[in-house]
Amino acid sequence: MNTDTQNVPTVKCPTCRTAVRWNADSPYRPFCSRRCKLIDLGEWANERYSVAAAEDDSLSDLLER
């Protein structure tokens, strides 16, 4: 019995929540498939996802000029 395959961590696909093994056999990790990866990319491109950040006042001053 190969213990290496038993110790491979699994994560849930961010898109469909399917279990994904975190190893070289899962080329789209953390996604389960190319489809789920592209769905996620589309969500970012459509600005449905964002990263919260503090506003930088120095950049705001430059934009107002």
φ/ψ bin of 10: left (φ > 0), alpha (ψ from -120 to 50), beta (otherwise): beta
Domains in the chain and their CATH numbers? 3-64 (3.30.50.10)
Contacts 24+ apart (CB under 8 A), 50-54: none
Q: Is 13 annotated as a binding residue?
A: yes
Q: Is 16 annotated as a binding residue?
A: yes
């290496």: which residue's tokens? Answer: 4
7 token code pair: 């110790």
Give the strand pairing for 19-21 and 10-12: antiparallel
Q: Is 4 annotated as a binding residue?
A: no
Each residue's pLDDT tens digit, 26-60:
999 999 999 999 999 999 999 998 888 877 666 66
Each residue's pLDDT tens digit, 4-29:
567 999 999 999 999 999 999 999 99
pTM flag (> 0.85): no
